């Protein structure tokens, strides 16, 4: 039977994710692209819980749980250990949330990227500390409600430009992905696996309780992030950037924002400012 | 709990996960049940592709949803291009 993504499932049902979890969809696609010779390092994040308590696991491959700050360092060690034992084939993946990447694990990430460690670092970015009840992270966009940024105006600070930080380390491969584009995500993981050196993927990962969306809308909101131009699907190889999904007729950002209760307090001016910033980025890309 | 130590004595003792989370039947989380109209379904596999529980099984044509695990998120209901998955309250089934 022909399918648009590989049939093999390496993530089993029975995991502990909320209904409609984007991080779960992403894990499923990632494993389809990576194949079985893969080891995961997971720092404190939603997936620490979702994989299930020992001695049970929802993932059909070895997982090493690491402290919050040290996903990239732990993955570096696992890779070195495998190499010392003569295994050059197994792919080592650090799989962290935005809290463990933008904030708490940034130093270890920078170190591993700078040393060009032969690992894949994945940040599934749901734009807040969701596992502990929606606290603001460096990945939270301006204007979004979180438990630690109450009030109508939401988060006062713009989202940290993590892509620029990582790209400043000249990684061997860099890509963005989001679950609505399952084929694109699977392809990027399959490709990342074949490349040597430090590889990084950032996944925009819808979170129904944290974004205050209906669980049924997880693919839809992920798709709208791309169609409105707010989230760009792209890859960078050898310093060359390639836009995977050039959006000819961008939808208004309001279509993405209004699906999410976390942006309920956004003023018309704030929405116009978001639209203007998106327009600016795309117009710069044209020249 | 099984430990990794017998085969590899030089390694630190670590707890091994030898069982699967598929023992954990999440179907009882569900309040709404997706039901596919098999006369309209074209077998396009889109519901299979997007299911976060990986509980939609591929068949020759109409996919089979494993109700032991379906959490009732409704993504298949929303994404089906034929709009042939209805969402019915579990209490009425
Ligand atoms: S998405 Fe709809 S039409 Fe396609 S296989 Fe599923 S139920 Fe059938
Ligand atoms: S309702 Fe959600 S969990 Fe159930 S089959 Fe559809 S997509 Fe999968």
Residue of A4, A8, A17, A19 for testing the chain B interface, max B β-carbons within 10 Å:
A19
pLDDT on residue B3: 67
Angle in degrees, CA A145, A213, A123, rounded to 5: 75
Instruction: Give the burial class of B78: count Cβ atoms within 10 A of its Cβ; 0-12 exposed, 13-18 middle, 19 or more buried.
Output: buried
In a domain, B54, yes or no: yes
Q: What is each CA distance from A152 to A128, A142, A160, A270, in whole angstroms? A: 17, 12, 21, 11
The pLDDT of residue B18? 84
Q: Tell me if B3 is assigned to some domain.
A: no
**pTM, 2 dp:** 0.95
Question: Cα of B64 to ligand 2 centre, how many Å?
Answer: 11
* Res. B9: pLDDT tops 80: no
ipTM: 0.95
* The pLDDT value given to residue A46: 96
Give how many domains chain B has, as a whole number. Answer: 1
B86 part of a folded domain: yes
* CATH number reported for the structural domain that contains residue B35 in this entry: 3.30.70.20
Express each pLDDT in A62-96 by its tens digit.
999 999 999 999 999 999 999 999 999 999 999 99
List the single residue in A with minimal CA-CA distance to B44: A3
The pLDDT tens digits for A165-200 are 999 999 999 999 999 999 999 999 999 999 999 999
pLDDT digits (tens, 9 = 90+) for A102-154: 999 999 999 999 999 999 999 999 999 999 999 999 999 999 999 999 788 89
Give chain A's mean pLDDT: 96
pLDDT digits 0-9 by tens, A12-53: 999 999 999 999 999 999 999 999 999 999 999 999 999 999
Select the residue from B3, B51, B53 to test the A interface by mutation, using most A Cβ atoms within 10 A: B53
Instruction: Identify whether B57 is part of a domain.
Output: yes
- Six-digit token pair at A52? 């299930």
Q: Tell me the residue ranges of DSSP E strands in chain B.
A: 3-4, 14-15, 19-20, 32-36, 56-57, 64-65, 85-89
- What is the pLDDT averaged over residues A227-239? 95
Average pLDDT over residues A187-214: 98
Instruction: Identify the domain containing residue B86 by its residue range.
Output: 29-92
Going by their DSSP bridges, the two strands A240-243 and A234-237 should be labelled as: antiparallel
Q: How far, in Å, CA of A73 to CA of A94, rounded? A: 9
With respect to residue B39, please indicate whether it lies within any of the assigned structural domains.
yes
Please tell me the predicted confidence (pLDDT) of residue B6.
Answer: 58
Question: How far is Cα A63 from Cα A57, in angstroms, rounded to an integer?
Answer: 9
Ligand 2 atom nearest B33 alpha carbon: 1
Sequence spans of domains, chain A:
22-283
| Topology (CATH) of A22-283 | Rossmann fold (3.40.50)
């Amino acid at each position: 039977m022909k399918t648009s993504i590989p049939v093999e499932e390496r993530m089993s049902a029975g995991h502990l994710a909320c209904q409609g979890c984007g991080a779960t969809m992403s894990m499923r696609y990632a494993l389809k692209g990576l194949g079985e010779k893969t080891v995961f390092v997971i720092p404190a994040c939603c997936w620490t819980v979702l994989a299930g308590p020992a001695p049970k696991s929802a993932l059909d491959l070895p997982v090493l749980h690491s402290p919050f700050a040290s996903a990239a360092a732990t993955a570096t060690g696992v890779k070195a250990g495998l190499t010392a034992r003569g295994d050059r084939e197994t792919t080592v993946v650090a799989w962290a949330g935005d809290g463990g990447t933008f904030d708490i694990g940034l130093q270890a990430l920078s170190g591993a990227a700078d040393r060009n460690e032969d690992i894949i670092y994945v940040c599934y970015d749901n734009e807040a500390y969701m596992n502990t009840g929606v606290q603001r992270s460096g990945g939270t966009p301006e204007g979004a409600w979180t438990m630690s940024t109450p009030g109508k105006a939401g988060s006062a600070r713009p989202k940290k430009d993590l892509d620029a930080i990582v790209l400043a380390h000249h990684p061997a491969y860099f890509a963005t992905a989001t679950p609505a584009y399952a084929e694109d995500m699977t392809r990027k993981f399959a490709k990342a696996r074949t490349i040597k050196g430090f590889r990084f993927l950032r996944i925009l990962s819808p979170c129904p309780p944290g974004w205050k969306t209906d669980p049924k809308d997880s693919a839809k909101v992920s798709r709208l992030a791309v169609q409105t131009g707010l989230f760009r699907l792209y890859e960078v190889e050898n310093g060359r950037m390639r836009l995977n999904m050039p959006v000819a007729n961008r939808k208004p950002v309001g279509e993405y924002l209004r699906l999410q209760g976390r942006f309920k307090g956004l003023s018309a001016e704030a929405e116009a400012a978001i639209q203007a910033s998106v327009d600016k980025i795309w117009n710069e890309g044209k020249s | 709990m099984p430990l990794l130590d017998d085969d590899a004595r030089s390694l630190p003792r670590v707890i091994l996960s030898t069982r699967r989370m598929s023992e954990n039947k999440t179907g009882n989380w569900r309040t709404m049940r997706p039901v596919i109209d098999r006369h309209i379904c074209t077998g396009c596999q889109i519901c299979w592709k997007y299911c976060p529980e990986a509980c939609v099984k591929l068949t020759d044509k109409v996919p089979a949803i494993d109700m032991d695990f379906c959490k009732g998120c409704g993504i298949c209901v929303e994404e089906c291009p034929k709009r042939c998955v209805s969402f019915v309250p579990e209490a009425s089934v």
